[in-house]
Amino acid sequence: MRIDLNADVGEECGDDAALIPLLTSANVCCGAHAGGPDTMRRTIDLCLRHGVRLGAHVSYPDREHFGRRDLDLPPAEISATVTAQLQALSGIARAAGGELRYLKAHGALYHRMAWDAVVADAVIAALDAFGPKLPLLTLPGSVAMQRAEAAGIVAVGEAFADRGYQDDGQLQPRDLPGALLKDVGEVSSRALAWVRGGLMQSVSGKPFELEARSLCVHGDTPGAVAMAAALRSVLMDAGVELKAFA
């Protein structure tokens, strides 16, 4: 079995130097919710040094709320900001000798795309026009996954190691109990159970099927480095090959 281990980086709130070497893919912040050109350069350099695949972590233009506030933007404005973020990160990556391999939305935009076809289509339109067509890393079974596949874009399912799930497979909102998992042992054992049986456990204790190729640890989660190291260890001990999906 192959699993990609990804994390959100370049957000100026985690230990990227320690976290990135543990990953196979890195969702690099494009400056809309945090970071900026200098941070992107440093982050990309770290990724290239350690052979980690580069993904564009696009978001609503919302630095004040770290991209975790839903914004009711017109589709054309969403497409425009996603395009600008892709171009900015791609330019820096190419100058460093690298290239973008996929796109993953951040925070409120990620969640909105999961159920709102209009917003999903706006992001996918920017991705489709960017060229070459990059895969979309997103929530399994979501509207975003369906709309991407309909547009001829590869959609890759993502599981979250450090986030709680509702019974229907949606992520638990961050303002509710159980939304963020901080215990390394709990994170590792839950991920291992998912890998072995294909079932993820919700915050209520209900198991549900979750088909995903990539496993995410948020770079701003307390103890993210220890979590990523523990996940690498338990997955490799279980015979899982850690390999980027793109």
pLDDT tens-digit readout, 220-237: 999 999 999 999 999 999
Q: Look at residue 51 in the predicted model and tell me its pLDDT.
A: 98
Mean pLDDT value of segment 134-138 = 98
Query: Residue 28 and residue 31: Cα distance in Å, rounded?
Result: 9
Q: Are 7 and 137 in contact (CB under 8 A)?
A: no
Model confidence, pTM: 0.96
- Domain with residue 202: its CATH number is 3.20.20.370
Determine the structural domain holding residue 142 and report its residue range: 2-242
Does residue 68 register a pLDDT over 90? yes
Give the distance from CA 222 to its chain's centroid: 17
Q: Look at residue 111 in the predicted model and tell me its pLDDT.
A: 95
Number of domains in the chain: 1
Q: Look at residue 133 in the predicted model and tell me its pLDDT.
A: 87
Q: Which of 76, 151, 59, 73 minimizes the C-alpha distance to 110?
A: 59
Query: Residue 212 and residue 195: Cα distance in Å, rounded?
Result: 10
Q: Which of 30, 122, 35, 142 minimizes the C-alpha distance to 71?
A: 122
Distance spanning both ends of the chain, measured CA to CA = 16
Q: Look at residue 121 in the predicted model and tell me its pLDDT.
A: 98
The residue whose two tokens read 């289509």 is 121
Range in 20-24, 70-74, 85-89, 128-132 the model is least confident about: 128-132
Does residue 131 register a pLDDT over 90? no
> How do beta strands 207-209 and 199-201 pair?
antiparallel
Q: Which of 38, 34, 162, 2 minimizes the C-alpha distance to 25?
A: 2
pLDDT tens profile 173-213: 999 999 999 999 999 999 999 999 999 999 999 999 999 99
